[in-house]
Amino acid sequence: MGRQNAEGSTQKIRNPLAREHEGDLRMAQNHWVRISFILLISIVLWGCPKKIVVTPPTIENPLTKILESFSPVESLQARTSIRIDTVRNGEEMNFLLNGYLLYQKPNQLRLLGYHPLGMGLFDAIYLDGKFFLLIPFQKRAYTGEVSEFEDLIEKAGPIEIQLERPEGSEIPHRIRINVIEKETRIDIRLKNPSINASLPEDSFRWVVPEGVEVKPLAQLLRKKR
């Protein structure tokens, strides 16, 4: 699976990685880890008239709703843009990243996230109840059961999901996730999705790069409690 070319932002978004000093860069990377983790929990992912479906706020894992929304098709691959708006320590923060999404019915999902300048931020795979997460610039990877997220989702409070489908489309082209109590909104847009095309055999194969340390997912979750 080839790496997708990063797309530039057309909006003026805070760019925490565009810093001149190494110390600032390291701090910015830590921000991306936290924000990427919020995104992964929320998922674990125009131009035409849209059918909008709003799910009432619930404690249920949003991953279930997202998989259901893709279930009318056998497979899906699409470039994505992801915008995250959140509040940390009273300060509003906005992030924009590019990505690539893969889905295979019934329950295989992969989302890769890239900084707009091209640096890989994360590679997340959901496969039959198991979850794999690679954070390249930290040279770390985590693996575990998705069920380990349940208590974190409950602590996060109600989550609202809004799906937008272009008229005549079987799948949503836009997914909005609102983690109400955490003041975090995630907007995922699918660009030119390819439906029911054959995916490469290794699309959901988890390969750990050389030099990357693999840890239990529970260890990462404990840091976020």
Cα gap 86→111, rounded to integer Å: 20
Structure tokens given for 213: 């340390």
Q: What is the distance between the alpha carbons of residues 150 and 60, in angstroms, rounded to a whole number?
A: 8
For residue 148, which amino acid is it?
A: E
Identify the CA nearest to 54 among candidates 158, 183, 152, 169.
158
pLDDT at 10: 33
Report helix angle 22-43 to 62-70, nearest 10. 70
* Domain map (residue ranges) of the chain: 22-223
Residue 37: the pLDDT is 53
Check: CB of residue 56 under 8 Å from CB of residue 158: no
pLDDT score recorded for residue 39 = 54
How far apart are alpha carbons 35 and 86 in whole angstroms? 8
Confirm if 156 and 41 have CB atoms less than 8 A apart.
Answer: yes
From first to last of its 225 residues, what are the pLDDT tens digits of the chain?
Answer: 444 433 333 333 344 333 433 444 444 444 445 555 555 555 443 333 445 555 555 555 677 788 889 999 999 999 999 898 988 888 898 888 999 999 999 999 999 989 888 888 889 998 888 889 898 888 999 998 877 766 666 666 778 888 898 888 999 999 988 888 878 898 999 999 999 999 999 999 988 899 999 998 877 766 555
Query: Alpha helices of the chain — where are they, by DSSP H?
Result: 22-43, 62-70, 150-156, 217-223
pLDDT (0 to 100) of residue 5: 39
Other beta carbons less than 10 A from residue 210's beta carbon: 5
Top-tier CATH class for 22-223 = mainly beta
